[in-house]
Amino acid sequence: MIVETVIYGLVVGAVYGVVALGFVLIYKSSSVLNLAQGALLMLGGFICLQISQWLPGGVWFFILAVLITLVIATLLGFGIERLALRPLIGEPLISIIMMTIGLNVLLGSIGYAIWGSGNFPYPTDIIPIGSVSILDTPISYKYIFSLIIALLCLLLFTLFFQFTRSGIGMRATADDQLAAQSLGISTSVIFRNAWAIGCITAAIGGIIIGFLIGLNSYNTPVLGLKVLPVVLLGGLDSIPGAIIAGLIVGVTENLAGAYLDPIFGGGMRDLFPYILIMIILMVKPYGLFGWVRIERI
């Protein structure tokens, strides 16, 4: 049981890592805390499902649907940045938090209005049904597949930040906006791209969750809130931190669900990340890899 729990935790944790990456990226480049990640997750998953239902079945058409979803997510990111966040540059933190909360409620209820409250499993003919045996524990292909996709995304984004011009520009903007601007980096383009990547990571997370447990317009956004413990544990401004913390939160919450539920009578899996938040905030408020900022008057 423990092997299965840990592996399932790793899969879920990798998804958290991918979504947290988008969160950290937006925070790093524009210091906006995107609490709308949950709704974006749900919308991404639903849009992909909807498009794949319009297209004929089959693996290749599904991949096409995923690509179309990513394009839509990019446009959504551009739109949100331009319409909602650009007017708030220079406003206090609560305005930005409230704006993203408002966006979360708005986008979430739009999803709810379109797709209703049912459960939407993804088509089962994309990933073959079956399992491989790891340490005498059968692990379903879809877990393996999801883990591979998530890790691939993490690898791709890491490479993007290390080697591409745009990625380095983003890290420069994150480090010091003024200095980056004086070296010819357009910060508005960087903000736009950061939001696009934030939406893309959320859509990928939504698609993987669709494969793993199916979509639900009520539960999926709640799942998106789990990204907050992840980014706090990893440090708000650390990309490797987001990935490692994603895995830690995924594994610990599943272990808590498996071993603490019988003691406390259920619900621990969903609660544990928040208990973790309290502990992290008390002990190490800047997370594992976050920068400790020295406050000055």
Partner 1 sequence: MHNPCGVFNRTYEEDLAIFRTKTQWAILFGSIALALAAPVFLGNYVVGILIQIFATVIVLHGLNILTGYCGQISLAQAAFAAVGAYTSALLSQWALESALPEWFPSVFNFWLTVPIAGLTAGAIGVLFGIPALRLRGFYLVMATLAAHFIIMHVIIRTIGTESRSLPAPHIAGLVLNSPKSYYYVALVALIVLTYFAKNLVRTRFGRAWIAIRDNDLAAEVMGISLFRYKLSAFFIGCLFAGLGGALWAHYTRSITHEFYLLNYGLWYLGYIIVGGMGTTVGPFFGASFLIVLTEVLANALMAFSGSVTGTLVFTTRDMLFGLVVVLFMIYEPRGLAHRWNLFKAYYRLFPYAH
Contacting residues toward partner 1, per CB under 8 A: 33, 84, 87-88, 91, 93-95, 97-99, 101-110, 112-113, 117, 225, 228-229, 232, 236, 264-267, 270-271, 274-275, 277-278, 281-282, 285, 295-297
Measured CA to CA, the distance from residue 200 to residue 74 in angstroms comes to: 6
CB of 269 to partner 1, least distance (A): 11
If the CB atoms of residues 58 and 102 are measured against partner 1, the closer one turns out to be 102
Nearest residue to 49 via CA among 108, 121, 106, 109? 121
If the CB atoms of residues 55 and 225 are measured against partner 1, the closer one turns out to be 225
Q: Are strands 215-216 and 119-120 parallel, antiparallel or unpaired?
A: antiparallel
If the CB atoms of residues 112 and 145 are measured against partner 1, the closer one turns out to be 112
Length of the chain: 297
CB of 125 to partner 1, least distance (A): 32
Kindly tell me the burial class for residue 247, based on how many C-beta atoms sit within 10 Å of its own C-beta (0-12, 13-18, 19 or more): buried
If the CB atoms of residues 121 and 266 are measured against partner 1, the closer one turns out to be 266
CB of 33 to partner 1, least distance (A): 5
If the CB atoms of residues 213 and 277 are measured against partner 1, the closer one turns out to be 277
If the CB atoms of residues 103 and 202 are measured against partner 1, the closer one turns out to be 103
CB of 202 to partner 1, least distance (A): 17
Measured CA to CA, the distance from residue 19 to residue 221 in angstroms comes to: 12
CB of 96 to partner 1, least distance (A): 8
CB of 2 to partner 1, least distance (A): 25
Q: Compute CA distances 194 → 28, 52, 176, 178, 240, whole Å.
A: 9, 27, 15, 17, 17
Measured CA to CA, the distance from residue 159 to residue 8 in angstroms comes to: 26
Kindly tell me the burial class for residue 178, based on how many C-beta atoms sit within 10 Å of its own C-beta (0-12, 13-18, 19 or more): exposed
Q: What is the amino acid identity at position 213?
A: I
CB of 272 to partner 1, least distance (A): 10
The answer to whether the CB of 20 falls within 8 A of the CB of 273 is no
If the CB atoms of residues 191 and 211 are measured against partner 1, the closer one turns out to be 191
CB of 61 to partner 1, least distance (A): 31
Helix, strand, coil percent content, the chain, rounded in steps of 5: 75, 5, 20
Which residues fall within 8 angstroms of residue 219, CB to CB, at 6 or more apart? none
